[in-house]
Amino acid sequence: MSGETGTTEITMTENAMTEKDVLVIVDVQNDFCSGGALAVPGGEEVVPVINRLAARFRHVVLTQDWHPAGHRSFASEHPGHEPLETVEAPYGPQILWPDHCIQGTSGAAFREDLDTNRAELIIRKGFRRDIDSYSAFFENDHATPTGLTGYLRERGFTRVVLAGLAFDFCVRYSAEDARRQGFAVAVVDEACRAIDVAGSAADTRRRFTELGIASLAAAAA
Ligand code: VGL
Ligand code: ZN
């Protein structure tokens, strides 16, 4: 995308993404990869797939899970509870997680092999101590916006393509909210990995079908 300053004409090749498509790369951070605090099985395997994918998009946005120490989604803040148990938060059920993606730590940093240079925006989420935020659009109260909808609309994007971690949490909630906000949405399966708690990966696929969220092969993007 750099080097195209001032160019409005789009040269279409067979696979070209247009000016209206944005790739949103979700939470490709050390804590979600092998050895991380909330490792998603095979998490790091998405990196080369995403790097190749991103090279074909004109516009790329990154999200970064970004919690303060002592975040309420951490099991360590709920004595007597273990990670992956569910508690009732003021905004509804909340799964408890191991401490992860704490602001400024290496766990919260993007994977070193992720090409972040082409990102035009990095949106951080989950920075309010009392509310978790899976979605890149709204926090888990489904009411507090991150500002991403306004940004994408103002930029004139009409289609959001998603990739990253985890398929059944942050990618899922981001995809559902993007759809609800009126964008066309596609998820690149090969560029995602799931945590898969209590059937959450299968639930995600079912919801995507119901909501008209397309599954896109990396080669077709
Ligand atoms: C995520 C659980 C907690 C994710 C973030 O990126 O999918 N999952 N925080
Ligand atoms: Zn988190």
Which domains are assigned to the chain? 9-67+101-217 (3.40.50.850)
* Whether pTM exceeds 0.85: yes
| Stretch (H or E) spanning 210 | helix 200-211
Half-sphere exposure for 180 (CA within 13 Å, toward CB): 13
In 3D, which of 184, 185, 188 has the Cα closest to residue 219? 188
99: Cβ below 6 Å to ligand 1? no
Counting from 1 in the atom list of ligand 1, the atom nearest the Cα of 26 is 6
Distances (CA, A) of 219 to 52, 214, 215: 10, 14, 12
Integer Cα distance of 176 and 47 in angstroms: 23
Binned at pLDDT 50, 70 and 90, residue 10 comes out as very low
pLDDT at 33 over 70: yes
pLDDT average, residue stretch 1-16: 40
Binned at pLDDT 50, 70 and 90, residue 152 comes out as very high
Reported as a single tens digit per residue, the pLDDT across 45-76 is 999 999 999 999 999 999 999 999 999 999 99
Residue type, 130: D
Residue of 24, 26, 30, 38 to mutate, ligand 1, most atoms within 8 A of C-beta: 38
Are the CB atoms for 116 and 28 separated by under 8 Å?
Answer: no
pLDDT at 9 over 50: no
74: Cβ below 6 Å to ligand 1? no
Binned at pLDDT 50, 70 and 90, residue 221 comes out as confident
Paired strand residues for 119: 60
